[in-house]
């Protein structure tokens, strides 16, 4: 395992299994792209939330070709993060409160893709939000494709960390008379409001 991927804190919660990593990426709708912008004398880290898709062993992010994100995604080192929140863990002490989660971190240098791979990535983005929708909608025009940069990050440097289960309280706190347990959290689609 690469040093930057080795989970040191709670390493039992880490997984490098590509199927497990893919499952989290496929369930999540949003990723955060972290990068350090060092040009122009500024040395500033940024984190930008954005939609993404996965196909095979790559994740794809798209952005307006003229955006800063698109420029960064064409060749700068990034750290991409995705988190699914599964529950609030309510312990008997303030200290042991926690959250159940599955989170993926991936490192790498994205590259712009074109042609069939670009279309596949855009299709995956739509299909992720609404499976079966791609054939029903107008396909991107040449102008729209030109205005949009699609960049891919290989998942060769990725790790999953997850917490499951209830609170881990100190034995001497177990007799305290406060509620303890898990409050499950999930993201659900509501009923569509037609345009
Ligand atoms: C919803 C949520 C809430 C959390 N709340 C807290 C909190 O309140 N306090 C707290 O200390 N920690 C919290 N964590 C855990 C936190 O993400 C870190 O794992 C933890 O702080 C240890 O960080 P570190 O840099 O010391 O880890 P290290 O183990 O030193 O990290 C080494 C490497 O492990 C990987 N890694 C670390 N954390 C994650 C992760 N979460 N997902 C995927 N890969 C990872 C990265 O590749 C990183 O470079 C939370 C995580 C989530 C998802």
Q: How far is the CA of 72 from the centre of ligand 1 (A)?
A: 24
Q: Tens of pLDDT along 105-123?
A: 999 999 999 999 999 999 9
**Closest of 2, 3, 61 to residue 32, by C-alpha:** 61
> Which residue has the least CA distance to atom 25 on ligand 1?
9
- Non-local CB neighbours of 137 within 8 Å, separated by 6+ positions: 126
Q: How far is the CA of 6 from the centre of ligand 1 (A)?
A: 11
Q: How far is the CA of 59 from the centre of ligand 1 (A)?
A: 21
Burial class from Cβ neighbours inside 10 Å (0-12, 13-18, 19+) for residue 71 reads middle
Q: Mean pLDDT over all residues of the chain?
A: 95
Q: Which two tokens stand for residue 178?
A: 């406060």
Average pLDDT (79-102) is 98
Atom of ligand 1 nearest to the CA of 10: 29
> Which residue has the least CA distance to atom 31 on ligand 1?
7
Cβ burial 95-130 (10 Å sphere, 16+ → b, else e): eeebebbbbbbbbbebeebeeeebbbbbbbbeebee
Cβ burial 48-58 (10 Å sphere, 16+ → b, else e): beeebbbbeeb
Q: How far is the CA of 184 from the centre of ligand 1 (A)?
A: 20
> Which residue has the least CA distance to atom 46 on ligand 1?
5
> Which residue has the least CA distance to atom 32 on ligand 1?
7
What pLDDT does 40 receive?
A: 67
Mark out the alpha helices in the chain (DSSP H runs).
18-27, 68-73, 115-129, 142-147
Q: Tens of pLDDT along 41-86?
A: 678 899 999 999 999 999 999 999 999 889 888 889 999 999 999 9
**Closest of 104, 165, 182, 117 to residue 145, by C-alpha:** 117
Q: How far is the CA of 67 from the centre of ligand 1 (A)?
A: 29
Q: How far is the CA of 185 from the centre of ligand 1 (A)?
A: 19
> Which residue has the least CA distance to atom 27 on ligand 1?
9
Average pLDDT (169-181) is 97
Q: How far is the CA of 101 from the centre of ligand 1 (A)?
A: 11
111-113 β-sheet, strand order: 53-55, 58-64, 148-154, 111-113
Percent of the chain whose predicted confidence (pLDDT) is above 70: 98
CA dist 24 and 36 (Å) reads 25
Angle at 75 between CA 144 and CA 30, to 5 degrees: 60
> Measuring from each residue's beta carbon to the nearest atom of ligand 1, which residues come in under 6 Å?
4-9, 83, 85, 99, 101, 103-105, 159, 161
């Amino acid at each position: 395992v690469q040093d930057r991927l080795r989970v040191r804190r709670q390493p039992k919660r880490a997984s490098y299994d590509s199927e497990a990593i893919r499952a989290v990426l496929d369930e999540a709708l949003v990723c955060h792209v972290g990068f350090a912008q060092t040009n122009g004398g500024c040395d500033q880290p940024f984190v930008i939330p954005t939609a993404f898709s996965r196909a095979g062993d790559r994740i794809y992010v798209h952005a307006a070709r003229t955006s800063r994100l698109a420029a960064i995604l064409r060749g700068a080192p990034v750290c991409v993060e995705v988190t699914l929140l599964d529950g609030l863990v309510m312990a008997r002490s303030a200290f042991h409160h926690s959250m159940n989660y599955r989170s993926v971190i991936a490192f790498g240098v994205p590259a712009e893709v074109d042609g069939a791979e670009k279309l596949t990535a855009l299709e995956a983005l739509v299909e992720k939000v609404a499976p079966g929708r791609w054939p029903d909608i107008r396909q991107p025009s040449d102008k729209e494709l030109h205005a949009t940069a699609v960049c891919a990050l290989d998942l060769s440097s990725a790790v999953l960390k997850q917490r499951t289960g209830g609170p881990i309280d100190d034995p001497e706190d177990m007799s305290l008379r406060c509620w303890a347990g898990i409050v499950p959290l999930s993201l659900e689609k509501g009923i569509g409001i037609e345009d």
